[in-house]
């Protein structure tokens, strides 16, 4: 009996050490699979490779906060993409839960899905830290965790995001080019910022300021806080116009429909506007571009969830993947807008237009997402 | 004689007895439906998720017993969480000091709440609304952005089973000692919550101060006329509430190995703590219930959300369903309170 006990203990120890040795992804040399879609963040980005598993896979999406249009659209996109013929056969089950802004609940949900034997877990982290334990468990069980949008401060998991710094720079460059084309080389600009204290808000703003600082022209940038929200942005823009009378251009991180609305309400002349990807903003730009509302629209797309799912599947198939995946910025300028293609005059203003990433084969149209309702899942 | 004592216990504690039965039924069903039900891994995960809200439910119980509400419990938890994320690392001595300092922070904040309520003569709900904002402000000063470096071994040891705890610190032959075997599968967070409840709440309830808390909640005038130490009991209740909230914050820091001054999370925890207290059968009018009942309430609250991960329910319908289930569960406990004509009936 004692001998048996010893044997089992030794065996368990052996099994555990073997498991530990095999656990988690290996760091490998690039390039990874499908580099047009899964572009590495920078030249220093490492590549991770998991052991290949047989399809179909069980995938869970663990969302945190729910209750704004972006998150709801993200959830609908995840469900629509799971039905896409290209990946439908590779997914056995897709489960989506929202835990609210509650770190233990989100960590608990991730751990629960690991325990249930899921193969991949996609998540928008409620906090950039604190995932050490679930990462350790995921590695132990060969589960792929893919944070996107709000990513983690770690290089141990594969993550998907858009380059916020680059987004800020692109907005600023476009506005600068428009102003130079008009012959303006100095002036007053309005910057509408997002949620304070958020890394996305910080990076976008740094990108914008970098470009104007480097230009050398005499630019005065007035900053107001719009919280990425149409209502707030509309109010602060109207206030700023009341105080400063006229701006040469406006750069908004979000709530852009409200910003343009405020311009129209206050009788502000149409000037170049850089903004997010709200359908309402694109509608207004399409309508008023020839009056001077030369707009650029770049979005943090709810469609990122689809890229994250695709990346998870690719990792499960055993492909080498960049640790940090940079999704190309979906850009549309005023001269590229086309009703029914990159904006929809029959969809609501707060719909986020960017959902298509051609290099990734992710092509879910706006109406397809909006038609996803509660009845056609499960 | 014996039989009637037992009968009286059940009739006096009907709320918590029903809540416990509901919790057991929900949890056993969950385990049957889970692919790895009744395993240590599942129990560890479940208790980890429930620990912070369990502590907060105990913290909220005391002000509720007084007939008030504490809107600062989530904020005090967040403040303690941020303090712990700075202090709980380094040598074992430093770690212990960091833990004590964290608990002291929350306890002191609770005492401050109590003093404002007693000497400032402000309603608890308003006083704690203000002090909650102060606590979040302090938390943001301590930790302007999320992060921190809580000792990794400690985090692993305290968020796992007893075996892992012994294994991490090489106690009891690395967890293989024969006398430890009956306990190896018990999750550490469960033990911590039970330990705090048994060592702090149970003795407190039996003191004069503890009983005065109940007396204030059921009939403050009568308590005053009977010469009970009303001010002392009030301050003690809020202080103890602060202590429990800081236990929650400390555990959160250990669990996430970091601190995060998250305003929304603090708000969510405050509201959930009230829900847990009510689910456990404690009356919002005060005087009836207890912290153990609130632990059961916190358990029910968490188990309901566990179901969304094993059942196929549309994600956008989940909040609606969770709300309806909660409403039904709360009504269970409330039915009896509606039926009594006189609150004294609850003690017969």
Task: Give the start-to-end residue ranges of the domains of chain B.
Answer: 15-347
Across A208-217, A249-258, A359-368, B192-201, least confident range: A359-368
Give yes or no for residue A373 having a pLDDT over 60.
no
The answer to whether the CB atoms of B41 and A115 lie below 8 A apart is: yes
What residues contact B256, with CB distance under 8 A and at least 6 apart?
A103, A104, A107, A127, A129, A130, A131, B150
Q: How many CB atoms lie within 10 A of CB A25?
A: 22
Give yes or no for residue A78 having a pLDDT over 50.
yes
The answer to whether the CB atoms of A104 and B53 lie below 8 A apart is: yes
DSSP A84: -
> So what's the pLDDT on residue A227?
84
Residues in chain B closer than 8 A to A131 (CB atoms)? 256
Fold of B15-347: ABC transporter involved in vitamin B12 uptake, BtuC (1.10.3470)
Query: Is A63 near chain B, with CB under 8 Å?
Result: yes
Confidence class for position A16, pLDDT limits 50, 70, 90: very low
Mean pLDDT in residue range A339-365: 83
Q: How far apart are CA A46 and CA A131, in angstroms?
A: 20
> So what's the pLDDT on residue A20?
45
What residues contact B217, with CB distance under 8 A and at least 6 apart?
B64, B65, B66, B67, B283, B285, B286, B287, B288
The answer to whether the CB atoms of B257 and A109 lie below 8 A apart is: no
CATH code matching the domain that covers A164-298, chosen among 1.10.10.10, 3.40.50.2300, 3.40.1190.20, 1.20.1440.120: 3.40.50.2300
Give yes or no for residue A229 having a pLDDT over 90.
no
Helices (H), chain A: 2-22, 69-82, 85-88, 103-115, 132-140, 164-182, 199-215, 230-244, 256-266, 279-288, 304-316, 366-370
> So what's the pLDDT on residue B345?
64
> So what's the pLDDT on residue B121?
92
Encode pLDDT of A274-290 as tens digits.
Answer: 999 999 999 999 999 99
Task: Write phi, then psi, for B48 (nearest 5 degrees).
Answer: -60, -45
Mean pLDDT in residue range A140-150: 92
Give me A260's structure tokens: 């343009």
Residue stretches of chain B with pLDDT short of 70 = 1-3, 333-348
Residues in chain A closer than 8 A to B302 (CB atoms)? 105
Nearest to residue B242, comparing CAs of B88, B78, B91, B30? B78
Encode pLDDT of B168-192 as tens digits.
Answer: 888 887 778 888 888 889 999 999 9
A363: left (phi over 0), alpha (psi -120 to 50) or beta: beta
Q: What is chain B's alpha carbon radius of gyration, rounded to the nearest angstrom?
A: 20
Report yes or no: B178 and B199 within 8 Å, Cβ to Cβ: no
> So what's the pLDDT on residue A376?
36
Give yes or no for residue A69 having a pLDDT over 90.
no
Nearest to residue B131, comparing CAs of B233, B217, B241? B241
Mean pLDDT in residue range A193-212: 85
Report the number of secondary-structure helices (H) and strands (E) in chain B.
17, 0
Q: Which of A101, A115, A378 sits opposite B42 (nearest CB)?
A: A115
Give me A116's structure tokens: 């249930």
Confidence class for position A64, pLDDT limits 50, 70, 90: confident
pTM of the model: 0.85
**Cα B274 to the center of its chain, rounded Å:** 10
Query: Coil, strand, or helix at residue B46?
Result: helix
> So what's the pLDDT on residue A13?
45
> So what's the pLDDT on residue B245?
97
> So what's the pLDDT on residue B283?
84
Distance of residue A378 Cα from the nearest chain B Cα, in angstroms:
6
> So what's the pLDDT on residue B347?
60
Residues in chain A closer than 8 A to B262 (CB atoms)? 101, 103, 126-127
Cβ within 8 Å of B, A 66-85: 66, 72, 75
Residues of chain A with CATH 3.40.50.2300: 24-162+300-327, 164-298
Query: Is A111 near chain B, with CB under 8 Å?
Result: yes
Could you give the count of Cα atoms lying within 13 Å of A60 in the half-sphere of its Cβ?
A: 28
CATH code matching the domain that covers A24-162+300-327, chosen among 2.40.30.10, 3.40.50.2300, 3.80.30.20, 3.40.50.300: 3.40.50.2300
Nearest to residue A73, comparing CAs of A361, A369, A307? A369
Annotate A93-117 with b (16+ C-beta within 10 A) or e (fewer): ebbbbbbbbbbbbbbbbbbbbbbbe
Instruction: List the single best residue of A16, A76, A108 to mutate versus B (max B Cβ within 10 A).
Output: A108
Q: Furthest-apart CA pair in chain B: how many Å?
A: 61
SS3 content of chain B, % helix, strand, coil (to 5): 80, 0, 20
């Amino acid at each position: 009996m004692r001998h048996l006990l010893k044997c089992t203990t030794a065996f368990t120890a052996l099994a555990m050490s073997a498991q530990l040795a095999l656990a988690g992804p290996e760091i490998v040399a690039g390039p990874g699979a499908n580099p047009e879609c899964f572009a590495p963040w920078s030249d220093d980005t490492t590549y991770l490779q998991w052991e290949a598993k047989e399809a179909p896979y069980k995938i869970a999406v663990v969302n945190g906060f729910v209750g704004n249009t972006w998150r709801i659209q993200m959830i609908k996109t995840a469900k629509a993409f799971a039905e896409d013929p290209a990946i439908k056969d590779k997914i056995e089950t897709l489960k989506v839960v929202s835990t609210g802004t509650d770190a233990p609940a989100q960590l608990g949900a991730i751990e629960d899905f690991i325990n249930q034997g899921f193969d991949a877990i996609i998540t928008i982290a409620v906090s950039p830290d604190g995932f050490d334990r679930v990462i350790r468990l995921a590695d132990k069980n060969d589960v792929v965790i893919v944070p996107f949008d709000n990513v983690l401060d770690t290089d141990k998991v594969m993550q998907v995001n858009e380059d916020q710094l680059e987004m800020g720079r692109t907005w600023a460059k476009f506005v600068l080019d428009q102003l130079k084309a008009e012959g303006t080389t100095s002036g007053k600009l309005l910057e509408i910022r997002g949620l304070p204290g958020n890394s996305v808000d910080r990076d976008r703003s740094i990108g914008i300021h970098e470009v104007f600082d480097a230009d050398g022209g005499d630019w005065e940038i007035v900053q107001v806080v719009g919280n990425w929200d149409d209502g707030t942005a509309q109010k602060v823009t109207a206030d700023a116009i009341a105080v400063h009378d006229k701006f040469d251009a406006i750069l908004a991180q979000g709530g852009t429909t409200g910003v343009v609305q405020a311009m129209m309400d206050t009788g502000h002349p149409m000037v170049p506007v850089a903004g997010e990807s709200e359908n309402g903003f694109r509608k207004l730009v399409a309508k008023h571009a020839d009056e001077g509302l030369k707009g650029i629209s770049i979005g943090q797309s709810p469609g990122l969830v689809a890229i994250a799912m695709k990346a998870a599947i690719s990792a499960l198939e055993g492909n080498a993947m960049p640790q940090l995946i940079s999704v190309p910025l979906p850009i549309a300028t005023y001269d590229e807008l086309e009703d029914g293609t990159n904006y929809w005059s029959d969809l609501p203003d707060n719909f986020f237009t960017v959902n298509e990433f051609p290099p990734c084969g992710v092509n879910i149209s706006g109406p397809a997402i909006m038609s996803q309702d509660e009845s056609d899942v499960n | 004689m014996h039989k009637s004592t037992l009968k009286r216990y059940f009739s006096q504690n009907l709320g918590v007895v029903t809540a416990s039965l509901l919790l057991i039924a929900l949890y056993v069903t969950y385990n049957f439906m889970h692919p790895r039900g009744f395993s240590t891994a599942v129990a560890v995960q479940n208790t980890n998720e429930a620990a912070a809200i369990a502590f907060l439910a105990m913290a909220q119980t005391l002000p509720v017993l007084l007939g008030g509400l504490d809107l600062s419990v989530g904020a005090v938890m967040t403040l303690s969480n941020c303090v712990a994320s700075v202090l709980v690392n380094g040598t074992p001595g430093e770690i212990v000091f960091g833990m004590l300092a964290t608990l002291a922070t929350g306890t002191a904040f609770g005492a401050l709440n109590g003093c404002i309520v007693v000497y400032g003569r402000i309603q608890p709900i308003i006083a704690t609304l203000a002090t909650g904002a102060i606590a979040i402000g302090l938390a943001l000063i301590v930790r302007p952005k999320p992060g921190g470096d809580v000792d990794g071994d400690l985090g692993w040891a305290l968020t796992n089973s007893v075996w892992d705890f012994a294994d991490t610190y090489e106690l009891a032959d690395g967890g293989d000692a024969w006398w430890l075997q009956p306990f190896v599968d018990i999750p550490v967070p469960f033990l911590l919550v039970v330990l705090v409840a048994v060592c702090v709440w149970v003795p407190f309830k039996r003191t004069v101060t503890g009983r005065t808390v109940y007396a204030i909640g059921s009939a403050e005038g009568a308590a005053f006329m009977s010469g009970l130490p009303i001010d002392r009991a009030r301050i003690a209740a809020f202080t103890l509430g602060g202590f429990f909230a800081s236990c929650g914050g400390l555990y959160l820091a250990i669990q996430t190995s970091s601190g995060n001054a998250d305003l929304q999370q603090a708000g969510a925890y405050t509201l959930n703590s009230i829900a847990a207290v009510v689910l456990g059968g404690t009356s919002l009018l005060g005087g009836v219930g207890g912290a153990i009942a609130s632990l059961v309430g916190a358990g029910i609250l968490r188990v309901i959300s566990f179901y969304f991960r094993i059942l196929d329910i549309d994600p956008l319908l989940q909040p609606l369903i969770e709300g309806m289930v909660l409403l039904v569960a709360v009504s269970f406990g409330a039915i009896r309170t509606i039926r009594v004509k006189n609150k004294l009936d609850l003690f017969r």
